[in-house]
Amino acid sequence: MLFNSLEFIFLFLPISLIVFFLLKQGRLIWLIITSLFFYAYWNPFYLPLMLFSILFNYQMGNVILATKPKSNQAKLFLGLGIGVNLLIIGYYKYADFFLDSLRINLSLTEIILPLAISFYTFTQIAYLVDVYRGETKENKYDLITYSLFVTFFPQLIAGPILRHDQLIPQLQKPAIFRLSQQNLAMGLSLFSLGLAKKVLIADHLSPWVSTVFNHSHEVVFIEAWVGVLAYTFQLYFDFGGYSDMAIGLGLLFNINLPINFNSPYKATSISDFWRRWHITLSNFLKDYLYIPLGGSRRSEIRRYGNLFTTMLLGGLWHGAGWTFVLWGGLQGMYLCINHAWSKLNKPLPGWLGWGLTFVAVVIGWGLFRAESLSDGIAIAQTLMGLHGIILPGEAEGKLAVITHLGIQLQSWTKLAYLPLVWESKSLSIIILAILTIIVAFTPNTQEIMAKFQPNWRWALVIGLLASVSLLSLNRVSEFLYFQF
C-alpha cells in the first residue's frame, strides 16, 4: 500500500488511527496487525519471510543477550545471525545479479524482490550488533514491542532505518496512548507537505526523466543535463516527500521518528551531503561498516580504503546492478578527495564548494538512474561534454560567438528529447532553474514546521495544499526508494 493512494488516506489510516485511540488494551498489537496488513497488501506471499526474519532475529538477540557482551560465544552467535540475514537478502536481492555477472545460467525462476527487505534486514542487523556490544543495557524486549519496532508501517517500506533505542523506549511509555491535538495537527501538516512534494512536483518530473534515460545513447549535451537535473529534483522531492510523510504519520501515533532528509542540495561538500541525504543510512554505514573496518584509526591509506569500501557496499545496497556499484565507487572517490582536500586546510568559498558538490552529485545521479552500465557511462560522458557540447540556439544568432569555443548550436526544434512544457521547450530549463533555487535557498520542511502555529492561517494553507494534492491523485506512482 502506498502513502499516496486513496485507499491509504481515506480507509487504512483513519481506521488504524481511530481504533488505536479507542482501544483500552492491545494497542501495540493493533499496530502490529495494521502494519502487517499494510505490508501484505502489496504481496502477501512475502509476509511469512518477514515474520521469519522477525522471529529469528528476536530469538538470536535473546541468545546473544544471555552471553557475556563481546565474548567469543557472543561473537559466534552474532556471526550466525548476521550470516543468516545476509544469506536471505543475498538470495532475494543479489542472486540473479551475481549469476548474470558470472555468466552462469541456472534457469532460475525470476526472483521478485520482497518489498522493504533491505530496510527491515538492516534494522535487525543493527539490533544484533547493539546487543553484542552490550548497548541494550541488558533489557530483554518482549516480542510484541520488538515486532512493532521492526514493522511499524510509517518507516517499514523506505525508512528511516531505526535503531532500537530510537523507537522501543517510546513504545514503552504510556504517553503514546494519549490523544494529542498538537501531534495530530503537526502530523497531518507534515503528511500534507510531503504528499504535495511527491504528487505536485516529483511525479510531474517523471516523464522528463524517462524521455532522456530511455534514449541515453542519443541525447545531446543540453538534453542530458535537463534529464539528469530533472531526476535530481524528482528524487529529492520524492524521497524528501516520503520522509516528511513518514515522520508525520509517526506523530499521529505520538511517535517521533528521526529526521532522514535535511536539505542535501544545500551541502557545500560531499561529506556534508552525506550528513544530509538518507541520514539514517549514512549513520548505519558509518557505525556498522566504516568504523568496524577500522574507520580513521589506522593509516591514511587504510582510511581511504575504508571510505571507498563503505560507499561501494552502500551503492550495492541500493540495487543489484553495476550502475549502483559504479555510483557507490564514485561516491567513495568523492569522499576520499574531500578528506584529502580538508587536510590541506584550504577551505573553498561557500559558493564554489556548493557548486562543485552539486555538479558532482548530479553526475552521480546520472549513473544511479541509468538502466544499464552502458547507458550510465553514455549519460556521464554526454554530461561532461565528451560527445560534444550542443546548446539550443541559432548559428547565426547572438550566441554565434560561442561556436568559436567548439560549442555547437542547434535549433530548439531539433532537440528531440528536451521536455516540452506548455508548448515551449525553453520553459523546462526555467522550471529547473526555479527548482534549483528552491532546494538551495528556501527553508526545508523542518524549518517550516519549527514555526508551526495551530491557527486558521496554517489550516487554510495546509488544507488547500492537501486538497490540490488529493485532486491530483489520478495516477498513483510508487516512491523511488521502494525499489531499493
* Catalytic residue numbers, as ranges: 318
Name 455's Cβ contacts closer than 8 Å, sequence gap at least 6.
none
CB-side neighbour CA atoms (13 Å) of 450: 5
Rounded Cα gap, residues 410 and 420, in angstroms: 16
Query: Residue 164's closest CA among 116, 123, 119?
Result: 123
Classify residue 147 as exposed, middle or buried by CB count within 10 Å of its CB (0-12, 13-18, 19+): buried
Rounded Cα gap, residues 120 and 124, in angstroms: 6
Under 8 Å between Cβ of 326 and 315: yes
Rounded Cα gap, residues 72 and 388, in angstroms: 60
Look up residue 118 and give its three cell numbers: 533491505
Query: Residue 335's closest CA among 355, 293, 364?
Result: 364
Please count the other Cβ atoms lying within 10 Å of the Cβ belonging to residue 448. Answer: 14
Written as one letter, the residue type at 255 is I
Name 186's Cβ contacts closer than 8 Å, sequence gap at least 6.
248, 251, 449, 452
Name 258's Cβ contacts closer than 8 Å, sequence gap at least 6.
160, 162, 166, 279, 280
Query: Residue 170's closest CA among 35, 28, 12, 37?
Result: 28
Q: Buried (b) or exposed (e) across 360-399, using 16+ Cβ within 10 A?
A: bbbbbbbbbbbeeeebbbbbbebbeeeeebbbbbeeeeee
Q: Is 174 helix (H, G, I), strand (E, B) or coil?
A: helix
Rounded Cα gap, residues 382 and 390, in angstroms: 10
Look up residue 399 and give its three cell numbers: 550566441
Rounded Cα gap, residues 430 and 397, in angstroms: 20
Query: Residue 380's closest CA among 227, 211, 277, 483?
Result: 227
CB-side neighbour CA atoms (13 Å) of 119: 24
Strand 407-410 to strand 389-392: parallel, antiparallel, or no bridges (unpaired)?
A: parallel
